Structure 1
Amino acid sequence: MPVCPRCGAAFTCGMLAGEPVCWCAVLPPLSSAPDEGAGCYCPVCLKAMLEASEG
């Protein structure tokens, strides 16, 4: 189970779980991640980062 590099929460990755589409694929792409190559972010952090980038 992946762990969010931002908050440390464990979360389910749809691709690793064998689902046809991961939950993150329905969200818009993040224009720039604060830690390139850090891995995947949990749903809460990814949504917060998307909201913050919208201004």
Structure 2
Amino acid sequence: MSGIVWQQWTLLAVYVLAELADIALINPSQAGRKPSDTLARTFWRAGMIALVLTI
């Protein structure tokens, strides 16, 4: 059981790191995407994924 949990949290961490890398690559001239909005959306998604994985 603990192996499955470890795998799920590793997957979640990789997802969050990928989203943070995407935020870092945002071009400042793109007025439609604010890094803070993207970050909030990223943590909302990560939280929902974590919730689903713990069920």
TM value normalised by structure 2: 0.31
Give the structure with higher Rg (CA). 2
TM value normalised by structure 1: 0.31
**Could you say which structure has the greater relative contact order, defined with CA pairs below 8 angstroms and 6 or more residues apart?**
2
